[in-house]
Amino acid sequence: MRKLLLNSTAIATVAALTSGVALADVSISGSTEWSYNSRSSSVASDDGTTMAKTDGEIKFSFTNKTDSGLTIGYVVEVESDDTDSAINESSLSIAGGFGKVVLGGNDGVGDGFGVVAKDLIAEEASPLPRSTSIGTSSDIAMPNGDANKVAYYLPAMGGLTLGASFADSGTNVGKDTTSFGGRYTMNTGDVAITIGGASNTTENSAGTDTDGQNIGIKVVSGAMSISASQSNNTSANDDLENNGLAVSYKMANGMTVGAYTFQSEDKLDTSEKYVSSGVELQYVVAAGLTAVINIDDYEYTPYTVNLLGVQQSTVTVADSGTNSKFTLKASF
């Protein structure tokens, strides 16, 4: 009897505390990857094999609809890799007839609106070049990543969506960032066409802004998808032009085959270039479990500097080779 009374008291207490408070819909999802990588490089120290558990993530989503018609959401993403784990993104969203506002640590709008060809490829196996002054994707440069910011998304107008975001560094020596983006999607028979673009500007106190622009197109016809994109990223020392093209095809047996090519050139360091191309095979082993095989070729050409107009010296190390990668991806 005492147990029943305590239970009844607890229920009454909870009911009193939550009276007038809306209960949110809660969802939890997770994903993780394990990979085995084999690299053949012209740089002896880069030759060999490695294995890693990367891109592990747990996502908590809370959603509440108010009596006034607003949808309030809160998302927390905890990310982990071989060496560290931390909260990757945490943001509040408020949506209604006016559109959607997102406040907190999340990507700028450029990440969601720009079209990047290599997004058709599940895994990127090409190693990063030894220089950070060359591009590896036709996406725009977003120096502030998941830093605290405010973003606004207009209500969809037919197939057109637009948005803008702003990150305030909070100091006069920081890096305020403004981003804009838009996408237009249309369907012609069985063909879906998406055109997207984005721009990003980070203002530096020294007057050397970092700017990025992206434009791309994606065409989906049945099981076939084709995407092409270009981006330009400029900073004090670099003026990068990045071009990408990718194709993928979904087969009836659960396999997806894909191929891509990519090139980045620095207009300031005219000899610096990075070129990569590859093929990919995805196979759905079971619901939530996918195996991916990638084989990529790559070549990085370093830039040189003229000393007194006569002597030349190589600033970074040239690298070329082939990279093979097996990845097992699980989602929950």
Spell out the domain ranges in the chain.
Answer: 25-331
Q: 88 and 57 in contact (C-beta within 8 Å)?
A: yes
CATH class, 25-331 region: mainly beta
Q: What does the DSSP 8-state code read for residue 35? A: E
Q: What pLDDT is stored for residue 10 in this prediction?
A: 43
Task: For 191-233, write each residue's pLDDT tens digit.
Answer: 999 999 999 998 876 667 889 999 999 999 999 999 999 999 9
Whole-angstrom distance, CA of residue 262 vs CA of residue 264 = 7
Q: What pLDDT is stored for residue 315 in this prediction?
A: 60
List of residues 6+ apart from 243 with CB closer than 8 A = 138, 229, 230, 262, 263, 264
- Is 256 a residue whose pLDDT tops 90? yes
Kindly provide the residue ranges of all beta strands, DSSP E only, lying in the chain, ordered along the sequence.
25-41, 48-65, 71-80, 85-96, 99-105, 148-153, 160-167, 175-188, 191-204, 210-221, 224-234, 239-250, 255-266, 273-286, 289-301, 304-307, 311-314, 319-331
Which of 5-9, 88-92, 126-130 has the lowest average pLDDT? Answer: 5-9
Task: For 25-61, write each residue's pLDDT tens digit.
Answer: 999 999 999 999 999 998 888 889 988 767 789 999 9
Q: Which residue type sits at 127?
A: P
Mean pLDDT of the chain: 85
Kindly report the backbone phi and psi dihedral angles of residue 86, in degrees, each rounded to the nearest multiple of 5, phi listed first.
Answer: -165, 165
Whole-angstrom distance, CA of residue 148 vs CA of residue 103 = 7
Which of 85-89, 111-115, 230-234, 240-244 has the lowest average pLDDT? Answer: 85-89
- Is 328 a residue whose pLDDT tops 80? yes
What pTM was estimated for this model as a whole? 0.83
